[in-house]
Amino acid sequence: MKKVAYVLIGLAVFVVLWEGYKLVGNPEGTVVLGVRILPRADDLSMPHLWTVIERLSRPEMTGGRPVWIVVISACLFTLGITAAGFVIGALVGLLLAVAMQRFRIVERGLLPYVILSQTVPLVALAPLVAGWGGTIMPAWMTVSVIAAYLAFFPVAVGMLRGLQSPGSAGVELMRSYAAGWWRTLVKLRFPASLPYLFPALRLAGAAAVVGAVVGEISTGTRGGIGRLIIEYSREATSDPAKVYTAMLGAALLGLVVAGLVSLLELPLMRHRRHVEVVTL
């Protein structure tokens, strides 16, 4: 109930800030020293929230489907791509973390490049990935690879930190039982890494959504929410509320993915007490 209350409070604060700024803000934006520091508050740039909600119920075009159906269909398409990218990225991140924990030389040699990989602009990388895989992969799979590229990093770094979290006393205890590396990994290091793994997975889920949306925009993949944002943006001057319906769909998609990833924690809740013991 607390989480639901926090969500409702957050939505209420957002509505108050949006409508409050629209009420008192400058229609031309707030400019300081020639630099616009606050956005325009006119109806073209910031339509009323109830206008955006009302636009969802009207047809996308004359005689077409309602906008909310189009947005949900696009979100479901992107959700499938995001799920594939998330799974691939999480598996790659887990394998990298295990390899870096097992071999110190791998950590020293690979970790800097793992971090460096996230400095490459995704907008520049996406067309390259599309060009490399365009002849051997369908468009949706190319976007999944782009999503996986963003998703693997938080899992690799978070899982590595978790695998290294057990104290020396716990490691020595496993050695006294003549436990090998694999048994120590399964019985000690993996349970101890759970508090680090779940936040990393949530970040990976959010990153996968961003990667999928940017990938759809950059590669021109049709059917997803990313492409829908571009298509609706062309009508920004004549129908600004329509643009925000697609953006609202992308935001809700991120929340749905975060919620689904959080469900992964439930089957492992029984390990929490054990984790608290071994990490002392």
Report helix, strand or coil for 59: strand
Q: How many CB atoms lie within 10 A of CB 69?
A: 13
Q: Rounded distance, CA 81 to CA 10, Å?
A: 28
For the cut 50, the answer to whether the pLDDT of residue 66 exceeds it is: yes
Q: Which amino acid is at 252?
A: L
Q: Rounded distance, CA 232 to CA 221, Å?
A: 15
For the cut 60, the answer to whether the pLDDT of residue 148 exceeds it is: yes
> Distance of CA 120 to CAs 113, 114, 150, 264, Å?
11, 11, 11, 30
Q: Rounded distance, CA 46 to CA 15, Å?
A: 12
Higher pLDDT, 96 or 258: 96
Higher pLDDT, 122 or 270: 122
Fold annotation for 48-278:
MetI-like fold (1.10.3720)
Mean of pLDDT over the chain: 83
Q: What is the pLDDT of residue 81?
A: 92
Average pLDDT over residues 74-84: 93
Confidence class of residue 275 from pLDDT cuts 50, 70 and 90?
very low
Tokens of 68: 């909310």
Q: What is the pLDDT of residue 277?
A: 43
Average pLDDT over residues 219-239: 85
Contacts of 104 (CB under 8 A, 6+ apart): none
Q: Work out whether the CA dihedral 39, 45, 48, 50 comes out positive or negative.
A: negative
Q: Are strands 30-32 and 35-38 parallel, antiparallel or unpaired?
A: antiparallel
Confidence class of residue 75 from pLDDT cuts 50, 70 and 90?
very high
Tokens of 184: 């120590």
186-199 residue pLDDT tens: 888 888 888 888 88
Q: What is the pLDDT of residue 64?
A: 77
Residues 139 and 219 sit within 8 Å (Cβ to Cβ): yes
- What pTM was estimated for this model as a whole? 0.83
Confidence class of residue 134 from pLDDT cuts 50, 70 and 90?
low
**β-sheet bridge partners, residue 59:** 66
For the cut 90, the answer to whether the pLDDT of residue 233 exceeds it is: no
Q: What is the pLDDT of residue 111?
A: 87
Higher pLDDT, 7 or 212: 212
Average pLDDT over residues 54-78: 87
Residues 222 and 243 sit within 8 Å (Cβ to Cβ): no
Q: Rounded distance, CA 236 to CA 241, Å?
A: 8
Q: Name the residue ranges covered by the structural domains of the chain.
A: 1-46, 48-278
For the cut 80, the answer to whether the pLDDT of residue 273 exceeds it is: no
Contacts of 267 (CB under 8 A, 6+ apart): none
For the cut 80, the answer to whether the pLDDT of residue 96 exceeds it is: yes
Confidence class of residue 280 from pLDDT cuts 50, 70 and 90?
very low
Average pLDDT over residues 144-163: 91
Confidence class of residue 82 from pLDDT cuts 50, 70 and 90?
very high
Tokens of 266: 């439930």
